[in-house]
Every structure is written in C-alpha cells, then in structure tokens.
Structure 1
Amino acid sequence: MQITRRHMLLGLTGAAGLVGAGYLLAPTRSGADESALLDPVEAHRQALNGDILLVDIRRPDEWQRTGLGQGAVPIDMRRKDFVDALLAEQMKRDGLPVALICARGVRSRRVAFALAQANVGPIIDVPEGMLGSRAGPGWLKRKLPLVAWRG
C-alpha cells in the first residue's frame, strides 16, 4: 500500500494527543544532535530563504507582548489540532523541515521530542528561544526583525 499525504494526515490526527502527553512526559533533553538545533540568526535566515518552516509555538499573549520573529508562523502548541495545523503548514511548503521556537527553549525542546516520537518531522529546535536561554541570547537580544501579531 502506498502512503499518501492524506493517509499521513489522517494517521497523525491522533498524534495531537501524543504531543500533549509527550510534552508532559518528555525528558528535559531531547537527545537531538547538534544538526537538529539552530540559533535564531540561522533560523531566521533559513526561514526567509524558504529552507525551513519556522513555527512559533508560544501563546497568543506572548506573541502580542513581543511580536513574532520575521518569517515565523504562529501555531499555539496548546491547540487540540496542533499537529494537524503544523502538518498543514508544512504541506503548503512541500514538506520543509520544521523549526520550533518558544520563549526560552524549554517548550520547543519538549514538543520537538514529542513530535519525533510521533514520527512527525524533520523537526529542528531553536533552543535560545525568543527571550534567550543557556543556549544563547535569543531572538530579541540578537535584535532580529519582528512583526506584530494580529490575532
């Protein structure tokens, strides 16, 4: 049997629950090697070049407060249809790798792990996040371009 994109979408509809459960159960380290990580500068460059789909998984109040990184698509990770929404955006872009960014890299790391466990990918983590973390200063302190979120 040949697996089509439709089969993949239908099969992964239930994966949204896995992502939610995986987020809660995921270790604090995803086990991803360095090739599965991007700093904000490279994530921004690749998003603008059309090499990745950069997804901001924060909440709408966070997007409102800081704005979105230029080139990022906002998809709140708490949505019940998060996986479906992510896959729909990915399919619009011919299956580009997905890079996840959050505030400080904690949520993106856990969601990346959960998505990998659900065989959704390829997934890349932006561990510095928007606000910075131990991984680095983050999108805002690097003074990368922002766009206003218009919910």
Structure 2
Amino acid sequence: MSLTQPGSHLAGAVVAATLLLAGCLPTTGPTLTTSEAFERTNSGEVTLIDIRTPMEWRQTGIAEGAHRVDMRHPKGPEGFAEQVLAEVGGDKNAPVALICRTGNRSAHMQKALLDRGFTNVYNVVGGMAGSRAGTGWIRERLPVEACPRC
C-alpha cells in the first residue's frame, strides 16, 4: 500500500498535520515597520491599534498615539472588530495598523479584520519587543506612553 493511497493511516496523518501547520502560520498581508507605523500614526495616515493585554500595556507602556483594543474581547473576533471599527469612526476602509508584542498575534487579528470587511489593515512587524521579522518599537527607541491604569 502506498503512503498516499486512500485508506492509508499515514496519508490521513500527513494531511491533518499539513492543515494544522497551515492554520498556525501568520497570514501574509500588508505590513509596516515600526518606524513606518510611527511616522504614519504621527501624520494621521493610519490609526495604530495595540492589541495586547492590559498586563502587557502596564509592563511596557504603549506605542505613542496607539489606541488600546485587547484582542481577547469578550465577544471574540466579532467584538474585537466592532471595537476597532469604533476607533476608526465606523470606516472599514480607514487605514489601521495592528501592533502586538512581536507581530504574530497582530497578523492573526489582521486576518480576522480582513475577513470581516476591513480593507486596509497593516501588521506592524516586530511589534513592541522585536522578533526575527523586525527590531521592534522599544528597541528602535520610539516613544512609549505609560499606561499605569490599563
């Protein structure tokens, strides 16, 4: 019996593993570096949304000019999208940049917003702390606002 023949247990396992891995990979969509996000936020070209948790906001502060929208909304992705929509004045075409700790969670939430009709959503690569994808807001020494009551 071939490994890929119908009825092969290994074939089913290979297909399941491939689907599982594909579901864990960040989506590919438009990105901004942290310095681009900073410049575009300051010029009013984009609304920067920090999607991390309140504990993370307290630990590091938030990127200057960022709006805080915890991605763990009680209503799930729908509630998250509704809150982001409120932050951009109800315009799903408004440019939005999402930032998290490293850029991974923001990539997933980017897809969630695009799936809900948003058309202009960027992922800030490297996030606040940095990753292989980018240096990160803090390491770039971009301005941070304290958030002691988050």
**TM-score of the pair, normalised by structure 2:** 0.76
Cross-structure match for 2:46: 52
Structure 2 unaligned blocks of 5 or more: 1-21
SS in structure 1 at match of 2:86:
helix
Instruction: Describe the superposition over 1:18-71 as per-residue Cα deviations: whole angstroms up to 9, x where unpaired.
Output: xxxxxxx95413132xxx110011101111110000000000000000000001
Find the counterpart in structure 2 of residue 144 from structure 1. Answer: 142
**Quick check: 1:31 aligned with 2:25?**
no
Contact 1:98–1:121 under 8 Å retained in 2: no
CA distance in 1, matches of 2:61, 2:143: 9
Give runs of aligned pairs for residues 6-21 of structure 1, distance below 5 A: none
Deviation at 1:96, TM superposition (A): 2.6
Provide structure 1 residue ranges, at least 5 long, that are not aligned to the other structure. Answer: 1-24
Supply the AA of the counterpart residue of 1:132: G
> Which residue of 1 is the match for residue 95 of structure 2?
97
Contact 1:26 1:114 in 2 (8 A): no
More divergent stretch after superposition (85-94 vs 55-64): 85-94
Which residue of 61, 64, 88 maps to 1:67? Answer: 61
Task: Output the amino acid matched with 2:128.
Answer: M
- After superposing on structure 2, the runs of 4+ consecutive aligned residues of structure 1 that deviate more than 2 Å are 92-96
Secondary structure of the residue aligned to 1:125 is strand
Percent identity over the alignment is: 39
Contact 1:28 1:109 in 2 (8 A): no
Q: Give the aligned CA root-mean-square deviation in angstroms.
A: 1.9
TM-score (norm 1): 0.76
